[in-house]
Amino acid sequence: MERQQRQRRRGAARTVAAAVMTALKHPRVWLTVWLVVLLPSLLAVLPAVASLDRALAPHPGASMVVEQALDVDFVRQHPEVQVPWFGAAVFVALVLLLFGGGVLAHVGRGTPHSYGTLWADGGRLLLRNLRALLIGGVLAWLLTWGCGAFESWVLNDWLPEADPGAMLFGIRLLSLEVGIEAMRYVFGLAFLGLLLLTKMAMARMALFEGRSASLAWLRVVLWMLRHPLRVGLVVASFALLWLVVGYVTGEITVRALESSSMIWLGLAAGQLGMMALAILVVASLVAAREMLPQPAPERSDPLAEEGA
């Protein structure tokens, strides 16, 4: 049993490492993901930055650095400085869903394809992926509701008068406060696992030419129940990579933006971080596909060949 667990851990590590290497070998793909996020973000942020500059102009000594956060009263008086993120987020999600279908169908599979083929096959798979995403969205809502209800029951019904800082055996890690925080992290990993299963359902329809998103989800869930450790390790590995990349590039960006003379360094660090996250987005799609049983290659009929 222990040997099988070690093999599964190595298998999960190999899956993630191979997916990242595959993504790195296709720079045009992850650069597309980066641009899809960058361009709408600029269109949304630049007008807000210009409005903020005009709003701060009458105030001598005011500067646009990170340490000066916008307070509620200022935002209320200048609503134009708020970034209209919703439209940009919807656009990015739809384009990535379109392009992601082509990534699942071709990238890293050794099949000959052009850049246009990725978009064409993504369009062919778009409606199927939308149905899979809709099912994933419903499950995500149920998960969020269930997690909130469980936390409310623990705090308000089960332990309504408990001291959050009380420690068991004098160990801080065994306090209620740490337990609640750990539970939230577990819920977060469960949400990431649900996102991985959504990509696997999309990958299944791309690989096996299936049209039923419900059937794809059912088969993916049944596969996950047979391989929970592998799924959990892959999810945890990608979560760790996301956290490391986000923390390192975020720290560099914030520290550079605290000084007006290093703004460009901060912007460069931020974009490098976005590129690294784009690579991880592509890698997560590849990993979701590679975790599925691959379809058997088509075999030629020898009798047909002889007749030809």
Residue 29 and residue 305: Cα distance in Å, rounded? Answer: 38
List the one residue out of 139, 124, 144, 243 whose CA is nearest residue 196: 139
Look at residue 174 in the predicted model and tell me its pLDDT. Answer: 66
Q: What angle do CA 42, 77, 73 make, to 5 degrees?
A: 100
- List, for residues 225-255, the tens digit of each pLDDT value: 988 888 899 999 999 999 999 888 888 877 7
- Compute CA distances 226 → 194, 219, 230, 238, 293, whole Å: 16, 11, 9, 21, 13
pTM listed for this prediction: 0.78
The alpha carbon torsion through 89, 91, 92, 94 (nearest 10 deg) reads 120
What pLDDT score was predicted for residue 201?
A: 92
Arithmetic mean of pLDDT, 79-94: 73
pLDDT score, position 240: 92
| Mean pLDDT value of segment 88-96 | 84
Q: Is the pLDDT of residue 33 over 70?
A: yes
Higher pLDDT, 10 or 300: 10
Burial (Cβ within 10 Å: 0-12, 13-18, ≥19) of residue 272: middle
Spatial CB neighbours of 7, under 8 Å, sequence gap ≥ 6:
none
What pLDDT was estimated at residue 302?
41
In sign, the C-alpha dihedral spanning 19, 20, 24, 26 is positive
Burial (Cβ within 10 Å: 0-12, 13-18, ≥19) of residue 282: buried
pLDDT tier at 292, thresholds 50, 70, 90:
confident
Say whether pLDDT at 291 is over 60: yes
Residue 93 has pLDDT above 90, yes or no: no
Confidence at residue 32, expressed as pLDDT on a 0 to 100 scale: 93
Tally Cβ neighbours within 10 Å of residue 236.
15
Does residue 166 register a pLDDT over 60? yes
Give yes or no for residue 163 having a pLDDT over 70: no
**Residue 65 — pLDDT band, cuts 50, 70, 90?**
very low
